[in-house]
Amino acid sequence: MADPQLPPTQPEPASNTNLIAPVGILVAGLVGLIGSVLPWVSVTMSVPGGSQSIDSPSVAGPGDGPWRGVATLLSAILLVTAAGYLFGRRNRGLLGVATVFALLVLGVGTYKIVDVYQKAQDEYRLMDEAFARLPAAARGPVASFSELFHINPATGLWMVAIGGLFGTVLALVQLLRAPKPVAAEGWLQPIPAPPSALRPVAPASEEGNPPTA
């Protein structure tokens, strides 16, 4: 029974820190999804007095089309899984799925970033060979093609990789913090020891003597 002289205790407000990781995973999926539809390659052309940036879907043509679709699909699944965990039943299964798809998004983004740099080097080499065949008067003060054009991954591709990276880290952190499932009742439970055998008691004698064992 509570002491009537003490003021009633107020329940402590629930902390929202346990929502940081689920919300972060949701945001990571959204970032990857947006990045999958933005330009993946940026071509910067140096001009007298400054430079001009030209965003392009790819360096080598439509070859990135399937990869864009893969990145969009993986990011969408990550987003849906994170939303299901945040607003639905929070179990470790959804966290495991989110971790796998975040890793896949990170893998696609990292692979395409490396691929863009490799294709850029190939483009530089081919264009430098063609540029070297031009007369010196036509080349002007420029020594190579790479001095005129710079090919780099664009914002969209970086968003895919960053979304996958943060989604992976947050999903792993939340997976380690989530409670492990409890075994079902009756499974892996210790078997109670059987009760000890009772010794028979002799009936009392008619003279009132105590019973003998």
The string of pLDDT tens digits covering residues 123-135 is 878 776 766 666 6
pLDDT, tens only, 136-150? 555 555 556 666 778
Nearest to 154 by CA among 26, 24, 37, 27: 37
Higher per-residue pLDDT: 161 or 150: 161
**Domain regions of the chain by residue span:** 19-38+66-141+155-177
pTM over 0.85: no
∠ CA(144), CA(147), CA(152), 5° rounding?
Answer: 120
Helix (H, G, I), strand (E, B) or coil at 151: strand
Higher per-residue pLDDT: 160 or 92: 160
210 has pLDDT over 60:
no
What's the token pair of residue 19?
């929502």
DSSP string computed for 141-173: T---GGGTEEEEE-HHHHHHHHHHHHHHHHHHH
